[in-house]
Amino acid sequence: MPETKTYTPAGFKALQEELDYLVNTKVEENKKEISTARSFGDLSENSEYDEAKAEQGKIHARIAELKEMIANAQVIDESEIDESVISVGSIVKVFNKKRGQEVEYHIVGSYETDPANGKISDSSPIGAAIIGARAGDEVTVHTPAGDMQLKIESVSRALTE
């Protein structure tokens, strides 16, 4: 049975938009590429045709993956969340005691992660350690690089679209 994944409303919307783009735009573009490549003649030595067919396979595999992800998605209901407790969708400011620096994280579902932009998964070592904590709490995070102590400075909700 497929695993249920948690998404923010924005993350779920992004999945739906990607699926819509692939189904309604990319598939049609790819059909035209295949048709054009087919017109070049002998398919046994036609690299354009081979590339277009390979791309077709990738597109359809991603469509199937997105449909499964959407079918098994659990979208968080912002209205039912205690905004003072860290959960998926929270924006959290923490103070890393070891490094002596403040860091801001946006807690998202595992398919929405973007560490370069501060979006970390609820199942990452830091995300898992701080889920359920509140401002003022101190949390120990066990990472491959060693333990770190974080003090939760503030918890807020991301703006929903």
CATH code of 124's domain: 3.10.50.30
The reply to whether 68 and 85 lie within a common domain is no
pLDDT value of residue 159? 61
Distances (CA, A) of 61 to 54, 57, 85: 11, 6, 38
What backbone torsions phi and psi does residue 58 show, to the nearest 5 degrees?
-65, -40
Tell me, yes or no, whether 68 and 104 share the same domain.
no
Domain hosting residue 50, numbered range: 5-75
Q: Are residues 107 and 129 in contact, defined by beta-carbon separation less than 8 angstroms?
A: no
List the end-to-end C-alpha distance of the chain, in Å, as a whole number. 31
User: Tokens 């499964």 correspond to what residue?
Assistant: 68
Residue where a domain terminates, one of 75, 99, 132 = 75
- Is the entire prediction scored with pTM above 0.85? no
pLDDT grade, residue 99 (50/70/90)?
A: confident
Are 132 and 82 within one domain? yes
Cβ neighbours of 127 (radius 10 Å): 23
* Separation CA 10–CA 158 (nearest Å): 10
Question: Which amino acid is residue 101, in one-letter code?
Answer: Q
Say yes or no: 136 and 105 in one domain.
yes
State yes or no: pLDDT of 27 exceeds 90: yes
Give 69-83 pLDDT, tens digit per residue: 999 988 877 777 778
At 121-140, the pLDDT tens digits run 988 999 999 999 999 999 99
